[in-house]
Structure 1
Amino acid sequence: MNFKNLFNLQEKLDHHILEKHNLHGKAFFPNKILALQVEIAELANETRCFKYWCNKGASPKSEILEEYVDCLHFILTLGLEKNYRDAEFNIHIENMQHNLTDQFLNLYVDINDFVVCPSKDHYQTLFEDFLCLGLSLGFSEKDIESAYLNKNNMNHIRQLSGY
């Protein structure tokens, strides 16, 4: 995955938002953290992995992928805010958990660790665990990048149209 390109695209979107809404000099780390937590919850909801009481299956893969890249936007913007765009990410498939519910819960632990200590190591762990979740959901790197590009373009259009 071309992380350099993803960070560059996210930086342009973030800059566009800051300019359009005149937000320079304001701190948004807590807002971005909460936004990521909400987006992860929306993603989990689309997978329905935790809904043991429900017979309805997961949403279509395309909807799950769209929610996944919504999360990716906030993970990238958090990395930009902390100047971690040069971080390296390695997925350790042998460490992947196969239970989606456990993976979602682990992401919340990762986020909490990052809030308590926003180090590059905690950021890398969060990002790597998020990438592992994408693999568990059946997404290829190409799927993720393509969906991110589409959603990033849509987000620029939304900003231009008064979103």
Structure 2
Amino acid sequence: MNKPNKAPNNKEFPLTRETWRYIKRRQKELDDAFLSKAKWLPNDNARLSALLIERGELINEFPETFKWWKHKADDRARIIDEYIDLLHFLAGMDGMPAALFTMDGGYSRIMFEAETDKWRRLSNDYVLEQLLDYSPNREYPVQSACKVVALATHIMGRLGFTDGDILVAYDAKNAENFKRIAEGY
């Protein structure tokens, strides 16, 4: 599978459309492997629930900002790992029956246009609070998932992660997940 070309660093929004399309293709392969052995097939709300759990795990990796009682630094490796888990669940929603628009269209509208302008002017702390406080609408699980990932992607850019960092981390996590399937996870 062709990997995207290395993109210039975009500190506002480090995930390029090319990388997002690559992740969607790879996620389809992973989901097919997982779902071939699944006990039941998840719907969009089940995937949204999983994504929201990962959102909590991502926020948990920000002790400098989120945990005033802790005296340890943010762990960048854990942060990107949890972010990749968000991408796994969002990319897996593509083509689900409740999706009212394609994920690529949703990514374009929500992630590149409205959200980037809104969050560009805000501090990291405030964006992290918005990620924590955002209440998804279960009537629109795909759109809700897009908003969560848009907020998280903006945070990743502010932390200095690049499209290349995201791609490398995604490929590593994807390989780990295929290994888990082979081992009967």
Cα distance in 2 for residues equivalent to 1:151 and 1:19: 19
Length-normalised TM-score, structure 1: 0.81
**Match status 1:85 vs 2:107:** no
Q: AA paired with 2:27? A: Q
- Structure 2 match to 1:104: 128
Cα shift readout 1:59-112 (whole Å, capped 9, x = no counterpart): 2x1222111111111121134422623222416266333233x32342355561
Q: Percent identity among equivalent residues?
A: 25
Give CA-to-partner distance per residue, 1:2-39, whole Å, 9 cap, x none: 2211111111111111102253xx34323212211111
Q: Is contact 1:93–1:132 with CA below 8 Å preserved after alignment?
A: no
Of residues 27, 47, 57, the one that matches 1:32 is: 47
Distance in 1, Cα, partners of 2:88 & 2:145: 14
Give the direction of change, closer, same or farther, for the CA distance of 1:111–1:155 in structure 2 (3 Å limit). Answer: farther
* Corresponding residue SS for 2:61: helix
Corresponding residue SS for 2:152: helix
Structure 2 letter corresponding to 1:21:
A
Q: Distance in 2 between matches of 1:77 and 1:110?
A: 21
Q: What is the CA–CA distance in structure 1 between the aligned matches of 2:141 and 2:53, rounded to whole Å?
A: 19
Aligned partner letter, 1:104: L
| Maintained 8 Å contact 1:33/1:111 | no
- The answer to whether the 8 A contact 2:61-2:74 is kept is yes
- Give the match's secondary structure for 2:69: coil
Point out where structure 1 has 5 or more consecutive residues left out of the alignment: none
What residue number does 1:8 align with?
Answer: 25
8 A contact 1:43–1:67 mirrored in 2 = yes
Q: Which piece of structure 1 moves more, 84-93 or 34-43?
A: 84-93
Residue 66 of structure 1, aligned match among 69, 81, 84: 81
**Corresponding position: 1:155 with 2:177:** yes
1:116 counterpart = 2:132: no
| Equivalenced residues, count | 157
- The runs of 5 or more residues in structure 2 that have no matched partner are 1-15
Mapped to 1, the partners of 2:148 and 2:60 lie a distance apart of 20
Task: Provide the alpha-carbon RMSD of the alignment.
Answer: 2.4
Match of residue 35, structure 2, among 12, 18, 25: 18
